[in-house]
Amino acid sequence: MATKAKQRALVAKGMIGHGPKISKGLPAGSVLKCADNTGARELRLIQVMGYKGRLRRVPAATLGDRITVSVRHGTPDMRNKIFQAVVVRQRKPFRRAEGVWVQFEDNAAVIITPEGEMKGSEIRGPVAKEAAERWSRIASASSIII
């Protein structure tokens, strides 16, 4: 019973719910730009949260996925620390249900707390519609949703 209540709470926060399949364009080890104002500038993808894989298959993330990242470049208090983040842009083209192919000019993520709240207060650049639909806090902080 407690698990059902927890599931409902996660759905209300916008942390669960997959739509159609999106091409996974960010394997583990990828370098992403930090799209918020937390002080981090460059992130390295360590792990994809909730990834159930196969032997020797590299975990890969896509838009809206919660990932574990380490800060490569940024302010001294952020550097070399591990955080959770959500992917908001990816360079690999992906197809939407209406048949349109979408591609961004960079890979970017937004750092979040383990509870799913944004660590920063603003998001620079556009945010993919897929990420905004899954994460309502990110949708409210973003200025452009594509």
Task: Tell me the per-residue pLDDT of 53-111, one tens digit each, with 9 for 90 and over.
Answer: 999 999 999 999 999 999 999 999 999 999 999 999 999 999 999 999 999 999 999 99
Task: Tell me the per-residue pLDDT of 9-53, one tens digit each, with 9 for 90 and over.
Answer: 665 555 555 668 899 999 999 999 999 999 999 999 999 999 999
**Rounded to whole angstroms, what are the CA distances from 86 to 1, 113, 118?**
28, 10, 9
Residue among 25, 36, 17 nearest 110 (CA): 36
Which of 13 and 129 is assigned the larger pLDDT?
Answer: 129
For residue 72, give the CATH number of its domain. Answer: 2.40.150.20
Which of 143 and 2 is assigned the larger pLDDT?
Answer: 143
* CB burial readout 136-145, b (16+ within 10 A) else e: ebbbebbeeb
Q: How many structural domains compose the chain?
A: 1
Q: How many angstroms from the chain centroid is the CA of residue 145?
A: 14
pLDDT of residue 20: 80
Mean pLDDT of 108-130: 96
Q: ∠ CA(23), CA(65), CA(120), 5° rounding?
A: 130
pLDDT of residue 8: 60
Domain of residue 78: give its range.
2-145
